[in-house]
Every structure is written in C-alpha cells, then in structure tokens.
Chains A and B, each alone.
Chain A
Amino acid sequence: MRQTRVFMDTAVSCEVVGDVPESDAGAAAERAFGWFAEVESRCTRFAPDSELRRLSVRPGEAVACSPLLCSAVAFALEVAQASGGAFDPTVGAPMEARGFTRNYRTGTQAPSGVVADARACWRDVTVDARAGTITLARPLLLDLGAVAKGLAIDLALAELAAFPGAAVNAGGDIAVRGVNRDGGAWRIGIRHPRQRDALWTRVQVQAGAVCTSGDYERRAPAGGGHILDPRAGAPAGGVASCTVIAPTAILADALGTAATVLGPERGISWLDAQGVDGLILTPALASFTTTGFARWEQCP
C-alpha cells in the first residue's frame, strides 16, 4: 500500500509491504505523514508562526525550543563543524536574497523580514540541549532545508517499523527498511542529471537512505541552483548531482549538501571520511564515487 501527500513543497509517499490489513497500513501511513507535518510546522522558514521563525526574531536571547528543533539545529551545527562551514544552517538570509521566499502552500512570497548580520555563520548559534534553548548570537535566519526533510523521512520510516517492508520517498530522497514488494532489497534508481526520465545507475538497499540533490531542481529566480556555498555567498558550482547512501536520511541529506559545496574531488573524499558512500556527477558528466559505492550498485 502506498499513499502520497504534499509536504515541504514536494510529493511525499509512504509505502508498506506485507500481508497486513489495509486499515493498519493506512493508520500507520497517517502517523508517518504526521511527522512531516510536525517537522515542517516547526522548521519551515516560510511561515511566520513556525518555531524557527519565532526564534529568528529574538537574537541575543536563550529561546526555549522544542526537542525537535533543538535536535535538528544541533545536528546541523555538528555537520557544519565537520565540514569546515561548507554546510551552514545560517544561510536563510542569503537564500532569501536569491529569491527563495515563496510559500508553496499559499503561492505567495513570504520573506521573513529578518535583517541578518552579514558576518553571521553557524558559530553564532548555540544549542543548550539540557535547558532546551537555542541562542542566536547575531541577527540571522536559520534554514534547515538540508536537515528537516531528512529528519521527517527518518521519523516517518520509524513509524512504519512494524511492517515487513517500508519506504518513505520525499521528492526523490528515500529511506527504506525490510523488503520490497517482491521480497528483495529495495531497488533505487539514481536520476541522470541531464536526461529527464533516464537513470544514471541503480542501487539496492535493504535498510538505509538514498538522497540526491541536483542542479536541475529548485532553480533560483535569478539563476543558479538551490545549494549555496555559504563561504562564497554564491551558488555551489561544479556539481550536477550528488547522491549519498547513509544509514539515515538526515545524515545523507546534510552530508550531500556539504559535499556539493566542497566540489567533486574534495566532496567525495570528505564523504569517504564520514563513513558513507556517495556519487557525484559533474556538469560534464564526469563521475566521482566513494570507494564503497560500487557495492551498492545493481547489475543492469
């Protein structure tokens, strides 16, 4: 049974496999979708009443935040540190400046109005997990786009743990566990970045996440991809698409974003060092893979 809804400006599908009553599967899928609603409502920068936006208008204060937001931000800061700032969750204002301000639910432009300090970076954010607070040392706007979707995917999949097989797909970022409809490992194609509806390769995964971001999606109104190099303040170049296979979607999504910014060679080395596998394709279709990527690939 597979159901699809719209969250985070993308189609989200939840699938369960196994000889189970449809009502049980449907109820579990509803709970799984509930996690997308929960994560989106707390982490979106497009709604003025989201927890993230309410935090963004109170720089200099230790603001009480939910465990979900604290965890998401804390994880983003860890990735920022590990990547030397190639990944930075404080890119909200630069993203707004590039035109990423549209609220997909209303279809209207929804800029935050936050006047960010141009010097702001991830080091200006502190999470006190024990106290349940987040402090922004400077005026800045968080953007959890590369973390929130993965987190929602993982939480939704956890909701489907009782079934022999399950998959959650949010706009091409996928997490699976157990068996597919044929009782085997899940077969996941990786989109060709330059040929619509063609696959570059296929992988087989029994449990884990496969996340791909490409320069073909979510283009800025003024041109350029949706992944910003936070250190340069410009769109990351040199990567047409980046796929990461990791135990969780939050990890795959965040590491893929950082690797895209780092570029093909450094990005792949860095993914290797993080203990995950990945594939980076350049605009000229040169292929860079981690040492372990081939073991996932499916025979044609």
Chain B
Amino acid sequence: MATSRRRARRASEETATRLMALSGAVIVAVYAVGYSHTEAAARRAATPPPAAVAAQTSGPAGQASQTSGVANSSVSSATPATAGSQAGASKTGAASGKYRSGTYSAQGWGPHGPVTVAVVVRGGRIVSANVTVCGTTYPCNYLSPLVSEVVQNQGPPTDYVSGATASSEAYYEAVTQALAKA
C-alpha cells in the first residue's frame, strides 16, 4: 500500500516536472522559430472593431457619469496605445518628496471603457486622485474606495490585477500614467 502511494507520488512528481519543463521548452522553441508576418495584423489590432463604441461622457470629479444602454463590449486600442502621451500636467510648485507638486491628468483603459483622472500632488504627496471623465459602461462611483486607497497608499496598491477586471484596471493605469509625469 505504502509502495503504491510512493509510486503514485513519484508518477505525479514526474508529471509535474514534465509539464513545467515542457511549458518552458515550448516557449523557447517557438520563440526561436520567430514569426513571419504579423505587422499587418498588429496594425489591424490597433483599429477598433466596428462594433466598438467609445463611450465617453464628462462628469464631475470622482463621480459617476453613466452611459447606460451603450453597448461597449469591445474595446478600442487606439486610446490606450497613446495613453502615456495623453498625460497632461500643470505644475505649480517646486520638487519636494517623491513627486513634484502639480495636477497631472491621464487616461487609462479597461475592458469597459476609458477613465480619466486628475492626480493632485502637494508637498510631494498625493492629496487626491479623482476621476474627471468616466467613459465606462457603468457608473464610476464603484471606484470611490480606490480613490481613497490611492491617496492612502500614495499610489496604486498594485501594478496589475489578475482576473478580468472592471474599471479598476483603467483607473490604476490612469493614475500610474499621471504619476509618471509627476
């Protein structure tokens, strides 16, 4: 009995080793071959699908501006591809602390649409990070706890979120892009 358990465990360990080794070998082998075309396909990916509707409406900072009824199950990539360059800033003070004082605006993009934030830095510290434009398919007031969290943590609490995320992804990206300018 003990022998069969040991055998089963050894077989299981061998399987584990094989799968892990195989997954690494697959990457190395396919990468070595390289890819042939894809430039056209990559450009095509930058074009929003016809069904995509970039819902974007203005709303007061930190509040929801719902675009109910807008079908936005597809996402456009044109905006996020240039999100970094869209980050704007108006600096009002000298550098102090981790960030330079000023108001920094940037847009992030999640599966449900874009979110624009304005991050205000004073004395090197983030004092607010409100949503200024909510373009998601549902209200951005879901993001209110995240706004407090960003101020408390002095930045997004994570680099990424695993799992199909809602607008938290867009919000964190926007804050990250804004702080990159600070």
List chain A positions with a Cβ less than 8 A from chain B: 1-7, 9-11, 13, 30, 33-38, 40-41, 66-68, 71-72, 74-75, 78-79, 82, 104-107, 151, 154-155, 158-159, 167, 169, 171-174, 176, 180-181, 186-191, 193, 196-199, 202, 210-214, 216-218, 241, 243, 246-248, 250-251, 255, 273-276
Given contacts A4-B80, A33-B45, A37-B42, contact A172 B161 (CB under 8 A): yes
Q: Which chain A residue has the least Cβ–Cβ distance from B171? A: A197
List chain B positions with a Cβ less than 8 A from chain A: 12-13, 15-20, 22-24, 26-27, 29-31, 33, 35-39, 41-42, 44-46, 48-51, 74-77, 80-81, 83-84, 109-111, 142-143, 145-146, 157-169, 173, 176-177, 180
User: Which residues of chain B come closer than 8 Å to A169, judged between CB atoms?
Assistant: 160
Given contacts A197-B142, A212-B163, contact A41 B80 (CB under 8 A): no
User: Which residues of chain B come closer than 8 Å to A159, judged between CB atoms?
Assistant: 31
State whether B166 touches A196 (Cβ < 8 A). yes
* 17 A-B interface contacts by CB (under 8 A): A4-B77, A4-B81, A5-B45, A30-B42, A35-B38, A40-B41, A67-B33, A68-B33, A72-B26, A78-B19, A105-B44, A172-B162, A187-B158, A188-B162, A197-B167, A216-B164, A275-B17
Given contacts A5-B45, A107-B51, contact A188 B160 (CB under 8 A): yes
User: Which residues of chain B come closer than 8 Å to A199, judged between CB atoms?
Assistant: 157-158, 161
State whether B16 touches A75 (Cβ < 8 A). no
State whether A248 touches B161 (Cβ < 8 A). no
Given contacts A4-B80, A5-B45, contact A68 B30 (CB under 8 A): yes
User: Which residues of chain A come closer than 8 Å to B143, judged between CB atoms?
Assistant: 197
State whether B161 touches A190 (Cβ < 8 A). yes
User: Which residues of chain A come closer than 8 Å to B17, judged between CB atoms?
Assistant: 275
Work out how many contacts link A and B, with CB atoms closer than 8 A: 218
Give the distance to chain B from A87, nearest Cβ to Cβ, in Å. Answer: 11
What 18 new A-B contacts, CB under 8 Å, besides A5-B46, A11-B169, A276-B20? A5-B42, A11-B109, A34-B42, A82-B18, A82-B19, A104-B49, A158-B27, A158-B31, A173-B162, A180-B159, A186-B159, A186-B160, A188-B160, A197-B143, A243-B163, A246-B23, A274-B15, A274-B19
State whether A37 touches B158 (Cβ < 8 A). no
Given contacts A67-B30, A250-B23, contact A37 B162 (CB under 8 A): no
State whether B23 touches A197 (Cβ < 8 A). no
Given contacts A4-B83, A189-B157, A273-B16, contact A210 B162 (CB under 8 A): yes
Taken together as a complex, chains A and B put the C-alpha atoms of A44 and B28 apart, in Å, by 22
State whether A107 touches B74 (Cβ < 8 A). yes
State whether A197 touches B84 (Cβ < 8 A). no
Q: Which chain A residue has the least Cβ–Cβ distance from B180? A: A181
State whether A11 touches B160 (Cβ < 8 A). no
User: Which residues of chain A come closer than 8 Å to B145, judged between CB atoms?
Assistant: 197-198
Q: Nearest 9 A-B pairs (CB), nearest first?
A: A191-B163, A4-B80, A107-B51, A37-B41, A212-B163, A38-B35, A217-B164, A189-B158, A275-B16
State whether A197 touches B168 (Cβ < 8 A). yes
User: Which residues of chain B come closer than 8 Å to A6, judged between CB atoms?
Assistant: 45-46, 48-49, 74-77
Taken together as a complex, chains A and B put the C-alpha atoms of A273 and B12 apart, in Å, by 6
Taken together as a complex, chains A and B put the C-alpha atoms of A7 and B46 apart, in Å, by 9
State whether A275 touches B20 (Cβ < 8 A). yes
User: Which residues of chain B come closer than 8 Å to A193, judged between CB atoms?
Assistant: 163
Taken together as a complex, chains A and B put the C-alpha atoms of A243 and B37 apart, in Å, by 33
State whether B49 touches A34 (Cβ < 8 A). no
Given contacts A38-B38, A210-B162, A214-B163, contact A248 B45 (CB under 8 A): no
State whether A191 touches B165 (Cβ < 8 A). yes
State whether B163 touches A241 (Cβ < 8 A). yes
Q: Which chain B residue has the least Cβ–Cβ distance from A279? A: B162
Q: Which chain B residue has the least Cβ–Cβ distance from A2? A: B84
Taken together as a complex, chains A and B put the C-alpha atoms of A191 and B180 apart, in Å, by 25
State whether A172 touches B164 (Cβ < 8 A). yes
Most buried by A among B22, B45, B74: B45
State whether A251 touches B162 (Cβ < 8 A). no
User: Which residues of chain B come closer than 8 Å to A106, judged between CB atoms?
Assistant: 49-50
Taken together as a complex, chains A and B put the C-alpha atoms of A107 and B50 apart, in Å, by 7
